[in-house]
Structure 1
Amino acid sequence: MAPRVLVSDKLSPTAVQIFKDRGVEVDYLPDLGKDKEQLLAVIDQYDGLAIRSATKVTEKLIEAATKLKVIGRAGIGVDNVDIPAASRKGIIVMNTPFGNSITTAEHAVALMFAVARQLPAADASTQAGKWEKNRFMGVEITGKTLGVIGCGNIGSIVASRGVGLKMRVVAFDPFLSTERASQLGIEKVELEELFKRSDFITLHTPMTEKTKGIIDKNAIAQMKDGVRIINCARGGLIVEADLAEGIKSGKVAGAGVDVFEVEPATESVLFGLENVVCTPHLGASTTEAQENVALQVAEQMADYLVRGAVTNAINMPSITAEEAPTLTPFVKLAEVLGDFVGQVTDEPIKSVEIVYDGATAAMNTRALTSAALAGLIKSQVSDVNMVSAPIMVKERGIQLTESRRDKSGVFDGYIKLTITTEKQTRSVAGTVFSDGKPRFIQIKGINLDAEVGRHMVYTTNNDAPGIIGLLGTTFGEAGVNIANFQLGRNRPGGDAIALLYVDSPVSDAVLDAVRGHKEIASAKRLQFDVASVD
């Protein structure tokens, strides 16, 4: 059955056609996002939800979305989506962070010019029949210092435009490298220095606990007298009341504000102030940007629903369409390894260590780790997948360690997963053969080669004569056919393991019979999702 997508906000007709061309059924209901109750009533029919800013994806809506696999936001902001709720439900949330970058950057530069030359007020005055040439004395941009807070995708474009305007550009961004700053022709500085040196300050950082209110009265007190502030990012980055006071006092010479603490902003402490230019969140409002983000979100959602490719996901590692064929078998392997450990471990897990050896070290290990964690806890939490697993593991206080290393054995690449509990440490390793199917290659440090089946039995025992006969006889008498039987031991007469792939589930009575043998330490019934191994 073809996946089905609901478009609940206004998107380009071309975007709707992209869904259809990719084999995705689509219902285009652009006004439905405004009707919370009606949207709630129909959301369980859809695999995907494409939105802009009008649709509010609440926890209540997510709980009702029983089939939903992906939410696509045409634009960069996902403030209208409850991402933690979506992640817990295993729903991927995508955005289009690059579709409106140029447009937003250009709007910031436009506001900077408007504030520097008081253009809106001068226009209103002139059109009112006045000729107040002396009233609107502006300042030049050339030679001034531009402070860019947040030098990511949009911020770096603004920075490059500032360099092109012959401005001195300084930037604060914890993730900006010295090399990248050099490439852009700008200077990386700390936030306090940026405040002290900048004639113009422009914000291009996401809203987080650390950045909320990043410009407040204390920050403004550190700035130059006559500073001009531009915000095309998020309203909450600036404490509006503090900015208003700064403008009234003359400390701040002007501000260009496209985003507000509360939107729609029908009233604000900034309205009516001298040399404050306000626009109604127009950063992404160009014909080109609206078309770009609509097409991108349609392509991303269709790629995921049809091909399994994950692009620009907020809550899951990206998997490109190109790497998916190579990566997918190892994603299945990682899930199987985690599932094995989860099924054979009864006590609470304190820590998990995942080692990527050889070829696997060069793969998308974030996706592999997410799959391994999903397998690890699926025996405890039935409704878990690659999106929700990392969150659930973190919530349970399980410590995660990942490492990569060069090829260290006979296999081109393998994954090893080790868990630690209060009582023991347990490990399992596996690889993928040329047939694309996962194989166990080591359990408890004991080498073996075992394929994965839907129904399996795992035993630990002393390396003693008669174990093979015991297992064969016991299973045979119970009418359980053994499809594959693999053994391993650490040394003659030492610890040994057996992994049996059987055609049907093994009953408790059969397991009890096996456990009753004096040489058998433990026997576990295992079951793997056949979709993960076929």
Structure 2
Amino acid sequence: MPKVLISDKLSPRAAAIFEEHGIDVDVKPGLSPDELKAIIADYDGLAIRSATKVTADILNAATNLKVVGRAGIGVDNVDIAAATKRGVIVMNTPNGNAVTTAEHAITLMLSLARQIPDANKSTKAGKWEKSRFMGTEITGKTLGLIGCGNIGTIVAERAQGLKMRVIGYDPYLSPENATRLGIEKLELDELLARADFITLHTPLTDATRNIISADALNKTKKGVRIVNCARGGLVDELAMAAALKSGHVAGAAFDVFEVEPATDNVLFGFDNVIATPHLGASTTEAQEKVALQVAEQMADYLMKGAVTNALNMASVSAEEAPILKPYMVLGGLLGSFLGQVEADGITAVVTEFDGKAAALNPESVVATTLAGLLGPAMESVNMVNAAAVASSNGIAVSTVRHDRQCDYETLLRVTISHKTGDRTIAGTLVGGNKPRIVEVQHIAVESDFPPYLLYLRNYDKPGFIGDLGSLCGKHGINIATFHLGRREAGGEAIALVEIDGGLPKTMLPEIRALDQVVRADALHFALDI
């Protein structure tokens, strides 16, 4: 039975969901890093919010961990690179708090427009400074969105309902989607020049860090108001303070800061700055939603193999998982065959999908194929990190889907390029889910993937089978099955020989010394892909 640890405060329903799926769950919020490190090896899954820091040190101790689930969108507290290296899937819940965060951005924008926090404070202090708090209407004003993803599009809808014009900058927003959403898509500099209000809704990356810089602020119109409910670090806070002091920026509202908790900040001294303590997702509805969502996602992965909202692996729906699983096993075994035969100097890998396989989502199948291929030569390669390992080793990975008549109902072919040439193998599924080899080096030959298999390339000449059988008898090796294929009579041939038990180390050189043998490899397969 899989076991999950909930190490942050989540809705009690999250634990109940794990239990309903047949998963053992422990709820232990408030653990210190040392306490978490001491027990994490006992768990297959770790469910967190923002308090738990999933560092490389924690991950190195998490010898059984398969998945980290973040109830929320931000994963700044998870070392994704270290998790990928360890083969741990990292999931988040990007949609669970989208409405709540969008509403908070709209709330802050309206509060800025009418100076509500300061007016509230002044009135409660017994003052009646009606003439001091002269606001501005938002009707007819232009809202500039930096980032038009889930949250940004919700902000756009709300702003349009308030009769604002909406412009947006997002490299990933297609012109068709922009038109559908009623957003005028612009380059960043043009947005900065035209917007009366700017709201940010983008993750913090190397490309977006300080996207609102001193230079960007100089390009905005005088009197602009800026709202950040996305991530600290998107705005250069010192540059913002200078723009507020000069009067170029009329006001700013921040829910996130470069350093959090933000107990002291250069922006706190300005009356025209509204600050809230990272409340974007802080509603009862959002907290419940993300907790339940992360529990469902983690349970689906641990029990069904479904991958949803993963940040370091391709998604696989619960409906796709049982269909893809046999192909993932087949791909892993084909890769393992090639990896055991030719593990050094690989420069490229091509995975071809033929017949029914051509309709599959290929990414997870390619991932297990790469894991099988690279595993014999490299430690700790798995389907989560295989693509990254291949890339870091300069191996080009490509996928081909064929729309053509196929000799088999479904077929996978894997071809590797290495320093001395190419090597290829093809396989199919028999009976719907049983993996089977159907071709090696373009020679038709059929075999299962038994635990122990001799792969032989030989000349098609009389006496080969007898010589090999005699040698196996000499060493007490029983031949279970014998599969042969050849290009032409008397030419190059291939033998796939299933044997009972492993091959003695001293025997392989003897097989290679047989007159008809070109090469010989002893392969081992496991079906626990």
Identify the match of residue 506 of structure 1 among 476, 500, 503: 503
Identify the match of residue 527 of structure 1 among 514, 520, 524: 524
Q: Distance in 2 between matches of 1:307 and 1:67?
A: 17
Q: Distance in 1 between matches of 2:223 and 2:365?
A: 52
- Do 2:343 and 2:377's aligned partners in 1 also have CA atoms closer than 8 Å? no
Q: Distance in 1 between matches of 2:218 and 2:128?
A: 35
- Do 2:343 and 2:376's aligned partners in 1 also have CA atoms closer than 8 Å? no
- Count of aligned pairs between the two proteins: 529
Asked if 1:451 corresponds to 2:431, the answer is: no
Partner residue, 1:91: 88
Shift, 1:459, TM fit: 0.8
Partner residue, 1:25: 24
Partner residue, 2:337: 340
Shift, 1:302, TM fit: 1.4
Give the SS at the match of 2:425. strand
Identify the match of residue 289 of structure 2 among 292, 303, 328: 292
- Do 1:44 and 1:68's aligned partners in 2 also have CA atoms closer than 8 Å? yes
Shift, 1:468, TM fit: 2.6
Shift, 1:346, TM fit: 4.5
Identify the match of residue 483 of structure 1 among 480, 485, 490: 480
Q: What letter corresponds to residue 500 of structure 2 in structure 1? A: D
Q: Distance in 2 between matches of 1:189 and 1:490?
A: 61
Shift, 1:430, TM fit: 1.3
Q: What letter corresponds to residue 29 of structure 1 in structure 2? A: K
Asked if 1:395 corresponds to 2:395, the answer is: no
Partner residue, 1:159: 156
Cα deviations by residue, 1:117-145 (Å, 9 ceiling, x for unpaired): 11111111111111111211111111111
Q: Distance in 2 between matches of 1:328 and 1:64?
A: 29
Q: What letter corresponds to residue 56 of structure 1 in structure 2? A: K
- Do 1:156 and 1:184's aligned partners in 2 also have CA atoms closer than 8 Å? yes
- Do 1:204 and 1:231's aligned partners in 2 also have CA atoms closer than 8 Å? yes
Shift, 1:316, TM fit: 1.3
Shift, 1:43, TM fit: 1.4
Partner residue, 2:251: 254
Give the SS at the match of 1:336. helix
Q: Distance in 2 between matches of 1:77 and 1:356?
A: 36
Partner residue, 1:124: 121
Segments of 5+ residues of structure 1 without an aligned counterpart are: none
Cα deviations by residue, 1:330-376 (Å, 9 ceiling, x for unpaired): 00011111111110014321111222223223212111111111101
Q: Distance in 1 between matches of 2:343 and 2:283?
A: 57
Q: Distance in 2 between matches of 1:348 and 1:187?
A: 50
Partner residue, 1:68: 65
Q: What letter corresponds to residue 393 of structure 1 in structure 2? A: A
Q: Distance in 1 between matches of 2:177 and 2:129?
A: 45
- Do 1:407 and 1:413's aligned partners in 2 also have CA atoms closer than 8 Å? no
Cα deviations by residue, 1:468-523 (Å, 9 ceiling, x for unpaired): 33333322333322222222222333322111222211223332222112221100
Distance 1:361 1:150, change over 3 A: farther
Identify the match of residue 52 of structure 2 among 55, 64, 68: 55
Q: Distance in 1 between matches of 2:387 and 2:268?
A: 44
Identify the match of residue 102 of structure 2 among 105, 122, 128: 105
Q: Distance in 2 between matches of 1:365 and 1:406?
A: 15
- Do 1:470 and 1:514's aligned partners in 2 also have CA atoms closer than 8 Å? no
Give the SS at the match of 1:381. coil
Give the SS at the match of 1:155. helix
Q: Distance in 2 between matches of 1:353 and 1:84?
A: 25
- Do 1:453 and 1:530's aligned partners in 2 also have CA atoms closer than 8 Å? no
Q: Distance in 2 between matches of 1:118 and 1:433?
A: 70
Q: What letter corresponds to residue 417 of structure 1 in structure 2? A: V
- Do 2:343 and 2:374's aligned partners in 1 also have CA atoms closer than 8 Å? no
Identify the match of residue 318 of structure 1 among 311, 315, 328: 315
Partner residue, 1:327: 324
Q: What letter corresponds to residue 497 of structure 2 in structure 1? A: L
Give the SS at the match of 1:506. coil
Q: What letter corresponds to residue 514 of structure 1 in structure 2? A: I
Give the SS at the match of 1:349. coil
Segments of 5+ residues of structure 2 without an aligned counterpart are: none
Asked if 1:170 corresponds to 2:167, the answer is: yes
Q: Distance in 2 between matches of 1:375 and 1:82?
A: 25
Asked if 1:369 corresponds to 2:374, the answer is: no
Cα deviations by residue, 1:435-456 (Å, 9 ceiling, x for unpaired): 4111112211112222111110
Partner residue, 1:6: 5
Q: What letter corresponds to residue 472 of structure 1 in structure 2? A: G
What are the residue-to-residue correspondences of 1:408-427 with 2, within 5 Å? 408-427=405-424
Shift, 1:282, TM fit: 0.4
Q: Answer with 133-142 or 491-500: which moved more.
A: 491-500
Q: Answer with 415-424 or 381-390: which moved more.
A: 381-390
Shift, 1:531, TM fit: 2.8
Cα deviations by residue, 1:409-445 (Å, 9 ceiling, x for unpaired): 2123322111111111111111212241111122111
Q: Distance in 2 between matches of 1:388 and 1:340?
A: 19
Partner residue, 2:465: 468
Asked if 1:42 corresponds to 2:39, the answer is: yes
Shift, 1:321, TM fit: 1.5
Q: What letter corresponds to residue 290 of structure 1 in structure 2? A: Q
Asked if 1:186 corresponds to 2:183, the answer is: yes
Q: What letter corresponds to residue 517 of structure 1 in structure 2? A: L
Q: Give the 4+ runs in structure 1 shifted more than 4 A.
A: none
- Do 2:480 and 2:499's aligned partners in 1 also have CA atoms closer than 8 Å? yes
Q: Answer with 489-498 or 260-269: which moved more.
A: 489-498
Shift, 1:101, TM fit: 0.7
Q: Answer with 212-221 or 314-323: which moved more.
A: 314-323
Asked if 1:229 corresponds to 2:219, the answer is: no
- Do 1:359 and 1:407's aligned partners in 2 also have CA atoms closer than 8 Å? no
Shift, 1:461, TM fit: 1.6
Distance 1:407 1:202, change over 3 A: same
Partner residue, 2:304: 307
TM-score (norm 1): 0.96
Partner residue, 1:15: 14
Q: What letter corresponds to residue 11 of structure 2 in structure 1? A: S
Cα deviations by residue, 1:52-86 (Å, 9 ceiling, x for unpaired): 11111111111111111111111111100111111
Q: What letter corresponds to residue 20 of structure 1 in structure 2? A: E
Q: What letter corresponds to residue 11 of structure 1 in structure 2? A: L
